[in-house]
């Protein structure tokens, strides 16, 4: 019995070695000639430029919109669906994407007028870290995070004012934007 099981183990070992050798061959066939070269991602490669034309640098997500004022502030870019928390020096300390509400604030400068720890949103969802800064069409507009962590697209048939963010971003907003904090909305 010992003799046949050692033959079985030897067979399994030989099969494993053959499988590893085959996989190593496949990997080497797909490896670049120079493994120190950075791979090129053709899906995100920039469009060809004409000689002498400057290439567009990749946009820095921490770059605060130029037309957003100065000093400590919350910046909300409507078109980008993005928020920046900006310190007194004008540097973004945190940035994140948001899901806009169905009712939008006009570009301009506002201040945080009220805050709530946990409430029901105008869409019926339980929300937390609510930071309100204006009212449009009798709808309070503010930032909030759904307690269940979702970021659903709002129902376009309902007038809602909650600009939703992820819970971790809601924590950062809550810490940063006290009553009276400046909120700048840019197009």
E strand spans, the chain: 73-77, 82-86, 92-97, 108-111, 114-120, 126-136, 139-146, 162-165, 182-186
Q: Given pLDDT bands bounded at 50, 70 and 90, which one contains residue 101?
A: very high
113-132 tens-digit pLDDT: 999 999 998 888 999 999 99
Q: pTM of the full predicted structure?
A: 0.68
CA distance 126 to 102: 18
Q: Is-contact 79 158, C-beta < 8 A?
A: no
- Whether the per-residue pLDDT at 103 is higher than 60: the answer is yes
Q: How many CB atoms lie within 10 A of CB 97?
A: 13
Q: Which residue has the tokens 């009798």?
A: 138
Note the Cα 16 to chain centre separation in Å.
43
pLDDT > 90 in the chain, percent: 63
- Greater confidence, 36 or 173? 173
Token pair belonging to 128: 């937390």
Q: What is the pLDDT of residue 27?
A: 42
pLDDT of residue 124: 85
Q: Which residues contact 138 (CB under 8 A, 6 or more apart)?
A: 159
Longest pairwise C-alpha distance within the chain: 86
Domain 73-186: top CATH class: mainly beta
Residue spans of the domains in the chain: they are 1-31, 73-186
| CA neighbours closer than 13 Å in the CB half-sphere of residue 181 | 22
């Amino acid at each position: 019995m010992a003799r046949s099981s050692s033959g079985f183990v030897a067979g399994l070992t030989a099969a494993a070695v053959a499988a590893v050798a085959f996989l190593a061959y496949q990997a080497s066939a797909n490896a670049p000639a120079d493994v120190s070269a950075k791979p090129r991602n053709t899906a995100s490669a920039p469009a060809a430029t004409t000689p002498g034309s400057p290439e567009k640098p990749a946009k820095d997500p921490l770059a605060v919109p130029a037309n957003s004022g100065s000093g400590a502030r919350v910046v909300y870019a409507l078109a980008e669906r993005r928020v920046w928390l900006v310190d007194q020096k004008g540097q973004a300390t945190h940035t994140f994407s948001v899901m806009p509400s169905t009712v939008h604030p006009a570009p301009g400068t506002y201040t945080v007028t009220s805050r709530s720890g946990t409430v029901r949103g105008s869409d019926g969802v339980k929300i937390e870290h609510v930071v309100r800064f204006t009212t449009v069409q009798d709808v309070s507009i503010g930032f909030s995070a759904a307690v269940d962590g979702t970021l659903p697209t709002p129902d376009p048939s309902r007038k809602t004012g909650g600009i939703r963010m992820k819970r971790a971003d809601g924590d950062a907003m809550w810490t940063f934007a006290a009553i009276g904090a400046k909120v700048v909305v840019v197009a």
